[in-house]
Structure 1
């Protein structure tokens, strides 16, 4: 099998969110189908582990190819949509209305070449496989924010959340994802997916900055880039109905170097309004009482260096405090957990 064909096969698949019970009972795997998939899952589990853990790049590529071919054959089992593949080391995220699920993962050649891969499996009335492969073209894209895209020129990410919104009878699925972007920095992405005659459409000037004091043109997608060792919050809060994002600053006062960016304890957000996500520059407006110091002063050690652990702790405390003020409770959703 040549590499081009391999690539088209393997762009299909990583985490599983359980389907609602009503959907699980709509169609069921036969006992024979379930047994077949369970048997295939044992092999897929090992392939998916080795395509990440194998020491040599050639071995990782080989196991990736084995995984994709085996996985596609597994998905051809009728009603495979309802089989979770829990033990397989890939991301598997279901749409809130269970219309589809997205598989994503990555192949890492070395510290400099990392490709995301994926596919959308549609839920079909007859249980037959409808799989739409996703081809990562981000390495060949100068400005990923400026264009509507399809599955052939996808901006790759490992998705961990899907948010469903509707406007004028059309459904919009907002995807949140992680990208191990470079040697020194990582990214998180916000991507809006819709469908046109069954074909995926990524983007569409749906990220708006119209309420910002400094006006910016709308974007087709949104991302943050930050220091590799930092932890940046970027997730949906269902109680507040907002996408909440850590506000980032350069810890070395070098705004042009994204690899120096870390959370500063403040938050930005996006709210769904009139069919688009509208940016909120400062989500929690905190006022300091007399005698209080700005948070940055508390986040420096005796040598004047930024303490990232304290930053993260304070950031989460601020989040919880402000959620309670807004009538919400509970911990913020956890971002994707990276496997070794």
Structure 2
């Protein structure tokens, strides 16, 4: 962790400004970025597929160095790096910045997120904030506002911008593979202070305490659940809400996070007066035949275990009926997930499209 922090911080501090007269990438710079992209693509694969953890760590370190060097090219903000697998790239709705996030896996029990925020500068120069995952040192990671230097890591797959009192709030939804027994999904709110520096978290969540949600006051929200149980969490644009699946314990002990699985019901958050307010029930119609409601904008996860097939089938069957009653229109059911492939799943998780949940 210290080596990663020192490497990324040193690269950023030494990067220096690079000037540009126009918001256009010149042909020479485009060629330079394509060459860098090829290197990043190869390193990205090694970060995931290298057999030994030492080789994956080495590839991760080289990836950081090469990425920062590439971003120093004038107007690199407008270069998408589309062919680079294993990383997530999401853009602010107002195009003021973008966030890169990815994950380093030492083994099944050790996952750490990496990342950086690239600002869209008027002159095309590099303004970069490294994201340093300090989850290891946070006994209660929901309890405080944090800077980019003590970030609670996640691979972000959705960003939602809201405003209140002429301030912008960027809500981030992301995944943390956490450890060998549980997965976490996070909702964090990113703001920028008067000094222009990023801040994560704040008093933006209002809900009743229970045995599953983080205790109040919570400055960021998360769900922790059984590994590969595929609990969905995403933003539904039609409902203008963050929607997530209700969790139940298979053993009757909700304090044991590895026993928590989705039961097919849905909860959510609605933005109101500068905070996300809890909505307990999203659908009021009566369930029939044990079918579980599922909002169609929530996309299917990349892969899953076969023991969830029954729940998925019930959700898919109910989806069309739910949308017909709620919005008087039907949408096609999501495709059934393919058989799980651990390495492929990690690769895909690290490279979601904007809004694609996994």
- What's the counterpart of residue 102 of structure 2? 105
Conserved 8 A contact 2:8-2:130: no
Question: Offset of 1:55 from its aligned partner?
Answer: 1.0
Q: Is it true that 1:275 corresponds to 2:274 in the alignment?
A: yes
Q: Does residue 134 of the first structure (1) align with residue 142 of the second (2)?
A: no
Superposed CA RMSD in Å reads 2.7
TM (norm. structure 1) is 0.84
Unpaired runs of 5+ in structure 2? 13-21, 293-305, 338-344, 349-358
Query: Against the structure 1 CA distance between its residues 319 and 205, is the aligned structure 2 distance closer, same or farther, given a 3 Å change threshold?
Result: farther
Please say if residues 265 and 318 of structure 1, whose CA atoms lie closer than 8 Å, have aligned partners that are also in contact. no
Q: Distance in 1 between the 2:205 and 2:320 partners?
A: 26
Secondary structure in structure 2 of the residue aligned to 1:339: helix
**Map of 1:32-47 to 2, 5 A cutoff?**
32-47=28-43
CA distance in 2, matches of 1:169, 1:5: 36
1:199 aligns to 2:197 (yes or no)? yes
Q: Residues of 2 paired with 1:153 and 1:56: CA distance?
A: 28
Contact between 2:40 and 2:67, CA under 8 Å: does it hold in 1?
yes
Task: Give the Cα separation in 2 of the matches to 1:10 and 1:309.
Answer: 46
Number of the residue aligned with 1:323: 323
SS at match of 2:107: coil
- Structure-2 change in CA distance of 1:318 and 1:218 (3 Å): farther
Among 317, 334, 347, the alignment partner of 1:339 is 347
* CA deviation map 1:5-54 (0-9, x unaligned): 2253689xxxxxxxxxxxxxx82211111111001111110011101111
- In structure 1, the gaps of 5 or more residues are 12-25, 297-305
Q: What is residue 5 of structure 1 aligned with on the other side?
A: 6
SS of corresponding position for 2:312: helix
Mean Cα deviation higher: 250-259 or 108-117: 250-259
Rate the CA distance shift 1:108–1:142 in 2: closer, same or farther, 3 A.
same
Given candidates 161, 177, 180, the residue that maps to 1:180 is: 177
The higher-RCO structure (CA 8 Å, 6+ apart) is 2
Tell me how far apart the structure 2 counterparts of residues 94 and 33 of structure 1 sit (CA, whole Å). Answer: 21
Aligned residues: 310
Q: What does 1:227-246 correspond to in 2, within 5 Å? A: 227-246=226-245
Alpha-carbon separation, structure 1, partners of 2:92 and 2:333 = 20
Tell me, yes or no, if the aligned pair for 1:122 and 1:129 is still in contact at 8 Å: yes
Contact 2:291 2:318 (C-alpha < 8 Å) held by counterparts: no
CA distance in 1, matches of 2:219, 2:308: 31
Report 1:208-287 matches (<5 A): 208-209=206-207, 217-287=216-286
CA contact (8 A) 1:235 1:244 kept: yes
Aligned residues of 2:189 and 2:204 also touching (Cα < 8 A): yes
Contact 1:120 1:131 in 2 (8 A): yes
Do the aligned residues in 2 keep the contact of 1:210 with 1:278 (CA within 8 Å)?
Answer: no
SS in 1 for 2:238: coil
- Could you tell me which residue of structure 1 aligns to residue 80 of structure 2? 84
Counterpart for residue 302 of structure 1: none
Which whole-Å CA distance do the structure 2 matches of 1:27 and 1:7 have between them? 26
- Contact 2:236–2:242 at 8 Å: present in 1 too? yes
Q: Secondary structure at the match of 1:120?
A: strand
